Structure 1
Amino acid sequence: MEKSIVLYLHYHPPLAWHALISFFCSRGSFRVEQLMANRYLRTIQLDDHTGWVAARQDTEHNQIVVEVSPSLSPYLSCLQRRLHTLFDLDAEPAIIEAHLKNDKTLRQLIANNSGLRVPRTLDAFELSLRAILGQQVTVKAATTLYSRFVTAFGKPVETPFPGLDRTAPVADAIANAKLQTIIDLGLTQRRALTIHQLAQKIREGALDLEQENRTEILRQLLELPGIGPWTAQYIAMRALGDPNAIPESDLGLMRALQLKNPMEVRRRTEKWQPWRAYGAIYLWHHLT
């Protein structure tokens, strides 16, 4: 067996590594990503190449050490960028947290768990799919639905880790499927149609989730039936890299802030700008 390749990804300390990878694995499929001790295991598909990564934190050198399967060697530069994004390694906690500590609710949460990151994504469509599946259901229900999509549309991949054997679904695979196939995974026709239309628009090039114009992406997303402000802001937060995005209608945020409606959340979080996404992460972590 070929020896794995090792990447070293540096970050600005502190980094709450276990909280970050636990967030991923509590919302994903065991066949795509796993938590093994303090390592994050994940399958990868880049173009037609599949493989895996195994990442761990090196606190002494403020870096994430990532083992990469040899099958992904043609994509190391691309993979390194995507992993930086996934783990939100460019964030500067000292700056972000100094600002958010002006809020009395966040002050204590930050003191208890300094270094939380916004859990990002390797692929914007994958995250968008998860966001749609998570609409108005529990995390457990959304995870069950996502696991069905992985089984139906993911690619088989060989890894040295038991059970880690399938990639996340890509837009093309879902765009090429029949609508009824998606419904049969346990979705309503409306939600299945939202996912199908999103995948088709990406496949056709009518929607590019990787472009830099976040405002335009959000406009196009909100034009799709079945995507409202919560879904769009969640996608902006985790897939588009908007540090100021916040899903104001999120029930967890309202509960954590002891507020009754999205308008109150908007007013309460105005002073968090431009770091509202990080404030949301601290509140969600508090609720777990």
Structure 2
Amino acid sequence: MFDADAAYLALKAHDARFDGVLFVGVTSTGVYCRPICRVRTPRRENCRFFASAAQAEAAAFRPCLKCRPEIAPGGGIAWSVMDASRTLAHQAAAWLDRHADVRGDTSIQALARTLGITDRHLRRIFATEHGVTPLQYLQTRRLLLAKQLLTDTTLPITQVALASGFGSLRRFNAAFIERYRLNPTALRRRAGPRTPSAEALTLQLAYREPYDRHAMLRFLAQRAIPGVEHVEVEGSAPGIRRSLRVGPPGREASGWLQVRFVEGKPLVQVQLAPQFADSSAALIRAVRRWLDLDAMPDVIEQALHELPGAGTRLPGSLDAFELAVRAVLGQQVTVAAARTLATRLVDAYGEPIATPWPGLVSRSFPSPARLAALAPSNLGTLGILRQRCAAILALAQQWDVLQARFNSASPASATIALLESLPGIGPWTAHYIAMRALAWPDAFPPRDVAVLKAMDCNPRDAEQRSQAWRPWRSYAVLRLWGSLGAAPTTPAPITP
């Protein structure tokens, strides 16, 4: 619960630190807003404060059309080793976020089985932590996604309904009118005219300051594979262009996306290839994770204030398989050498792809199926060492099992253990994959050469000292790498 008087002061100050973790419902208008909303501040007696958009909508408030709660950053990662019920409740919310765009009814029973608890216990702990039922939370996520697509794009309303996880247009219209008291067409009309485009879907996503955008872009630029991705670090519109493969095996769609940081505003503009319209919900989540848009920098800074690099974010990934393969290629070599090997792999086994930037982005990263069909000798001709060939082939051949683990609510430790069971993948590589592919905030790759150099200590002392940085050790690792002023080389020996 919020201290209402303190929350009102944050609202009056338009304090961006509370964006996405505090919403205000105004009883005189029936609308709920983000604390950064620039409309006239409502009177104190007309304000009710909520910890989530779902709570505000459960109390019969509808989202503001000006500050747009649907683009607010998420509430960050709740982490606790003391309160198991709270951790489960947040794992449940993350599972619902990932399944919000799954059409039709998402089974609460399936979620409970995934978490290893009963339906009744799930509903109880979820309501205690989030103030709403799992179904109310899911409905809010779907409606806010639909609101964003209606506002930012010209997609047909039927396609918006399906992309937002509704099984039919009738259900979508009924839910929209019941919750927001206007129909989807009226909302689109209020949002203003949009010029239809056959070239891209354009969306906006918000984040909390401070955000060291240049550090993020430099990190990604150092690792960018020519032909797959292109990163602009400087200039008036810094951002990233890249190819991407989206969807389950056998039904994948290949395309492209572009993200740009909006100058002077805590916003990212995302452009998607038109064929990704039905996957827009999944890609919004993926981009938020990739660029760490939901981080709470003030909370992280409290734990890491002794380290330089305030505003450092955790670079995730858009393709977990690609990230895993690149992690293997980077074992015990420099970042530049790893990029050279990845470029050879893409040139040999990636597929051509049409993009608006043929001179910069023209190929997709090889799929798991493509690499699984190769022999070790095929990879060996690219200059990849035998042990790494075995690791890459094992990743490709086991990817169905691994991907299910990546998409589940399982703890990161279980995924790390599964990765370490594969040939050629040791603790460092498994932790690095978890850090970036899972966006796990508490990874601390063991025996990392650059980390030990920056900390000026041995591995045992480094592990002990790192306990004070939990649960933000991934951010500590990035700050330590950054303190050396150059891209780190890769780590200690892998486990056979």
TM-score, scaled relative to structure 1: 0.91
Structure 1, unpaired ranges of 5+: none
Show CA shifts across 1:130-149 (max 9, x none): 11111111111101011111
> Which has the bigger relative contact order, CA under 8 A and spacing at least 6?
1
Distance in 1 (CA, whole Å) between partners of 2:367 and 2:450 is: 29
Secondary structure of residue in 2 paired with 1:269: helix
The Cα offsets for residues 210-245 of structure 1, whole Å up to 9 and x where unpaired, read as 323222211111111211111111111111222111
**Which of 218, 226, 240 is the equivalent residue of 1:22?**
218
Q: Establish whether residue 178 from structure 1 lines up as the match of residue 178 from structure 2.
A: no
Does 2:483 match 1:286? yes
8 Å CA contact 1:12, 1:89 repeated in 2: yes
1:40 pairs, out of 233, 236, 240, with 240
> Shift of residue 98 of structure 1?
1.6
SS at match of 1:26: helix
Deviation for aligned residue 1:3: 3.2
**Aligned mates of 2:413, 2:456 — CA distance in 1:** 30
SS of structure 2 residue aligned to 1:236:
helix
Q: 1:122 to 1:254 in 2, by over 3 A?
A: same
1:5 maps to which of 201, 205, 228: 201
SS in 2 for 1:8: strand
Quote the offset at 1:208 in angstroms.
Answer: 3.3
| Count, aligned residues | 279
Aligned to 1:200: 397
Distance 1:13 1:205, change over 3 A: closer
The 5 A counterparts of 1:146-225 are 146-161=342-357, 162-203=359-400, 208-213=405-410, 214-225=412-423
Cα deviation digits, residues 82-128 of structure 1 (max 9, x gap): 11111111111111012111x3xx0xx13xxx211111001211111
Given residue 7 of structure 1, which amino acid in structure 2 is its aligned partner? L
Unaligned runs of at least 5 residues, structure 2: 1-196, 487-496
Q: Distance in 2 between matches of 1:134 and 1:242?
A: 19
Tell me, in whole angstroms, the C-alpha distance in 2 between the residues paired with 1:123 and 1:54: 15
Q: Structure 1 residues 235, 204: CA separation in 2 closer, same or farther (over 3 Å shift)? A: closer
Rounded to whole Å, the distance in 2 between the matches of 1:206 and 1:70 is: 25
Q: Could you say what secondary structure the match of 2:318 adopts? A: coil
Q: Distance in 2 between matches of 1:153 and 1:16?
A: 35
The match for 1:126 among 318, 322, 325 is: 322
Identity of aligned residues (%): 35
Q: CA deviation at 1:206?
A: 8.7
Provide the rounded CA distance (Å) in 1 between the counterparts of 2:351 and 2:401. 21
**Distance of 1:32 and 1:204 partners within structure 2:** 26
- Rounded to whole Å, the distance in 2 between the matches of 1:163 and 1:193 is 31
Q: Aligned partners of 2:231 and 2:403: how far apart in 1?
A: 36
**Aligned residues of 2:229 and 2:360 also touching (Cα < 8 A):** no
Aligned partner of 1:140 in structure 2 is 336
| CA deviations over 1:44-95 (Å, ceiling 9, x no partner) | 1113322211211125441111122223222111111111111111111111
Contact 1:125 1:209 survives alignment (8 Å):
no
Structure 1 pair 4/206, CA: closer, same or farther in 2 (3 Å)? closer
Match of 1:230 among 412, 423, 428: 428
Between stretches 45-54 and 87-96, larger displacement belongs to 45-54
User: Aligned pair in 2 of structure 1 residues 246, 204: CA closer, same or farther (>3 Å)?
Assistant: closer
1:258 counterpart letter in structure 2 = D
Change in Cα spacing, 1:241 to 1:147, as seen in structure 2 (3 Å) is same
Identify the residue that residue 262 of structure 1 maps to in structure 2.
459
Deviates more, 1:242-251 or 1:70-79: 70-79
Alpha carbons 1:172, 1:203 under 8 Å: kept:
no
CA distance in 2, matches of 1:64, 1:49: 24
Change (3 A) 1:262 1:124: same
Give CA-to-partner distance per residue, 1:26-51, whole Å, 9 cap, x none. 11202111123412111111133222
Deviation, structure 1 residue 25: 1.9
Greater gyration radius: 2
Distance 2:394 2:405 in 1: 13
CA contact (8 A) 2:224 2:231 kept: no
**The residue matched to 1:208 in structure 2 has which SS?**
helix
2:285 aligned residue (81, 86, 97): 81
Alignment RMSD (CA, Å): 1.8
Q: 1:283 to 1:204 in 2, by over 3 A?
A: closer
SS of the aligned residue for 1:186 comes to coil
